[in-house]
Amino acid sequence: MPEYRRRFVHRAYYFFTRVTAGRMPIFKDPANVKLLRLATREAMDHKPFRIIASVVLPDHIHDIIRLPEGDTNYPQHLRRIKTNFTKAYLDAGGAEAAITDAQSRDARRGVWQPRYLEHTLRDENDFRRHLAYLHMNPVRHGLVKRPEDWPASSIHSWIRRGLLRPGWGTRHGDAPEETDGGFFGD
């Protein structure tokens, strides 16, 4: 297994991908998306951070997150979200994937893959590419024709705030990586 090195950078923007165990389509059910939002809000109430952009697909989540000054411990934030969601989801009768004996010994449940992907965004262009990737993901997976047709996406907020145009990513010549202004490094 490769050895992963995580980067911990003050005031950085991070792009994350978290996947359900066995790629179970847990978030196909809007009630589970609501549980995820509540779990995230609880984690943010415990120790604040900002979610810049997010999309929840049936079996995975993409986020761009920024931590407050002096905080680089994103594993703690992600763990709290996963733990809060897992408890609420299982308490509501949610199903879980089979787990190994080793996972059982570590008190893991069959709701999430144990690892996640992290990328520290390097600059404005990297930020724009990941923002576009995140918002275009439901289209790439064939779930909708336009990014704004997917309900569990921050694209709605970006459009309301005037940071992206309605129809973004769908019109000829409207490059999905373009935003209407700088955002990185605010």
What does the alpha-carbon distance between residue 6 and residue 138 come to, in Å, rounded to a whole number? Answer: 27
Tokens of 90: 């299982």
Q: What is the pLDDT of residues 122-170, one digit of tens each?
A: 899 999 999 999 999 999 999 999 999 999 999 999 999 999 998 888 7
Q: Tell me the pLDDT band of 2, cut-offs 50, 70 and 90.
A: low
* pLDDT tens digits, 55-71: 999 999 999 999 888 88
**Would you state the pLDDT for residue 175?**
52
Q: What's the confidence (pLDDT) of residue 111?
A: 93
CB distance 25 to 66 below 8 Å: no
Supply the range of the domain harboring residue 62. 13-121
Structural domain contains residue 162:
yes
Is 116 within the bounds of a domain? yes
The region that residue 182 occupies, defined by phi over 0 for left and psi between -120 and 50 for alpha, beta otherwise, is beta
- Where would I find the H helices in 55-123? 74-91, 101-105
Q: Residue 89 pLDDT > 80, yes or no?
A: yes
The total of structural domains in the chain comes to 2
pLDDT in tens, 4-56: 565 666 678 999 999 999 999 999 999 999 999 999 999 999 888 999 999 99
DSSP 69: T
Give a yes or no: residue 4 inside a domain: no
Is residue 16 within 8 A of residue 120, CB to CB? The reply is no
Give residues with Cβ within 8 angstroms of 181, minimum separation 6. Answer: 163
The token pair that represents 121 in the structure block: 């965004």
Task: Give residue 173's pLDDT.
Answer: 40
CATH of the domain at 86: 3.30.70.1290
**Do 88 and 130 lie in a common domain?**
no
**170 and 108 part of one domain:** no
Residue 186 counted as domain residue = no
In a shared domain, residues 138 and 100: no
Q: Of the residues 90, 121, 152, which one is the last residue of a structural domain?
A: 121
The more confident residue out of 157 and 186 is 157
Are 93 and 170 in a shared domain? no
Residues 136 and 155 in one domain: yes
For residue 136, tell me if it sits in a domain. Answer: yes
Any domain includes 62: yes
Q: Is residue 94 pLDDT above 60, yes or no?
A: yes
Residue 163 falls inside a structural domain = yes
Indicate whether 90 and 133 sit together in one domain.
no
Long-range own/partner contacts, residues 156-160 (CB < 8 A, 24 or more apart): 158/53
Does 34 share its domain with 110?
Answer: yes
DSSP-based three-state secondary structure for 51? strand
